Structure 1
Amino acid sequence: MSTQSPTTWITICDTCKREGWDETSGATDGERLANLVEQAAEGLPVRTRRTSCLMGCQQGCNVAVQAAGKLNYTLGRFEVSEEAARGIVDWAVLHGESATGQVPYRTWPQAVKGHFVTRHPPLPDAE
């Protein structure tokens, strides 16, 4: 009998605006990054969702990588690029494969190195 790992979620802040954001562009930097992350995640064993504000405005663009019973992470300071989106998704897949959510540094995609902002322990199972 195999145990199924909990779903790893990538939560993308779709209201992030990097310094110099052009209001006339029609989309926030966070929306543009969310589009790229969603495309990069298609067909892979991670889920994506958007939220309005992860409260990391000084470090935008921000994402959270989370799964029940695992370490959870906030990453930030991303440029809007396909490389950043692919790195976020590739790292989230590794998070999903890890029993604890901890991913060995040597396996991290280059695109996420230097972008970790916080790490949160899993919530307790009981009150």
Structure 2
Amino acid sequence: MTTKSRLNICITCTASTADGQTDPRHGKQLFDRMQEICNERDLPFDLHPAECLTNCKSGCSVALSGAGKWGYVYGNVDPQSMIDDLCDLAIRYADSEQGIVAWRERPETLRRNVIARIPPLD
């Protein structure tokens, strides 16, 4: 059985464009919206909440990871306007062999949002 790739969403994030914190936090709103999509569709990745990705100045933050794959941290993900693009990116990541989604194949709204690229453990 192959382990699915994982989309981790920081649920403690506040959007970098916000004037203050919200209740629930922007990251939690993003997670909840993505969870609704995951419940409606059979997607090739697992969704996990993360307490903090330590990228507070560029919230909302998400991380993509998978066995034997490069990992990525993305920031400035808008929980309202980027949900479909985030889902598309996570699908492309899950479908990739090494976790590398070519820049031109990434949704345009997320192309410039990469914070870090992390080498695979394997």
- TM-score relative to the length of structure 1: 0.84
Distance in 2 (alpha carbons) for counterparts of 1:67 and 1:103: 13
Letter paired with 1:109: P
Aligned length: 118
Distance in 2 (alpha carbons) for counterparts of 1:116 and 1:122: 16
Cα displacement string for residues 12-45 of structure 1 (whole angstroms, at most 9, x for unaligned residues): 000001231344xx31011111112222334211
Instruction: Give the secondary structure class of the aligned counterpart of 1:86.
Output: helix
Alignment of 1:1-127 (within 5 A): 6-18=3-15, 19-23=18-22, 26-42=23-39, 43=41, 44-81=43-80, 83-124=81-122
Percent identity of equivalent pairs = 26
Closer, same or farther in 2 for the Cα pair 1:91/1:52, shift >3 Å? same
Distance in 2 (alpha carbons) for counterparts of 1:36 and 1:21: 21
Distance in 2 (alpha carbons) for counterparts of 1:91 and 1:20: 28
Q: Is the 8 A contact 1:5 1:96 kept in 2?
A: no
- The higher radius of gyration belongs to 1
Structure 1's unaligned 5+ residue stretches are none
Instruction: Give the secondary structure class of the aligned counterpart of 2:88.
Output: helix
Distance in 2 (alpha carbons) for counterparts of 1:55 and 1:70: 21
Structure 2's unaligned 5+ residue stretches are none
Shift in Å at residue 69 of structure 1?
0.4
Q: Is the 8 A contact 1:12 1:62 kept in 2?
A: yes
Distance in 1 (alpha carbons) for counterparts of 2:79 and 2:9: 12
Distance in 1 (alpha carbons) for counterparts of 2:55 and 2:21: 19
RMSD: 1.6
Letter paired with 1:112: L
Distance in 2 (alpha carbons) for counterparts of 1:22 and 1:10: 23
- TM-score relative to the length of structure 2: 0.87
